[in-house]
Amino acid sequence: MATRSALINVMVRAAEKAARGLVRDFGEVEHLQVSRKGPADFVSAADMKAEKLLREELQKARPDFGFLMEETGASKGSDPTARWIVDPLDGTTNFLHGIPHWAISIAAEKNGEIVAGVVYEPVHDQMFWAEKGQGAFLNHQRLRVSERRNLADAVIATGIPFKGRGDHAGFLVEAEALMKEVAGIRRFGAASLDLAYVAAGRYDGYWERGLAPWDAAAGQLLVTEAGGFVGEIGGGRNPVFGGTILAANAHFHLPIAKILRGAAERKVRSAPAGAAGAADAGQG
Q: Which residues are annotated as a binding site for Mg(2+)?
A: 70, 87, 89-90, 215
Is residue 188 classed exposed, middle or buried when 0-12, 13-18 and 19+ CB atoms within 10 A define those classes?
middle
CA 196 – CA 268 distance, rounded (Å): 32
All residues at 6 or more sequence positions from 241 whose CB lies less than 8 Å from its CB, including other chains: 213
Q: Which residues of 100-132 are buried (b: 16+ CB within 10 A; e: fewer)?
A: ebbbbbbbbbeeeebbbbbbbbbeeebbbbbbe
The terminus-to-terminus CA distance of the chain in angstroms comes to 43
Q: Which residues of 207-227 are buried (b: 16+ CB within 10 A; e: fewer)?
A: bbbbbbbbbbbbbbbbbbbbb
Say if CB 58 and CB 70 are below 8 A apart. no
DSSP H or E run through 60: helix 39-61
Residues flagged as binding site: 70, 87, 89-90, 215
Tell me the CA distances in angstroms from 134 to 100, 165, 226, one per residue in order. 30, 37, 10
CA dihedral 143, 147, 150, 152 (to 10 degrees): -20
Number of Cβ atoms within 10 Å of the Cβ of 59: 17
Say if CB 23 and CB 122 are below 8 A apart. yes
β-partners of residue 105 are: 87, 119
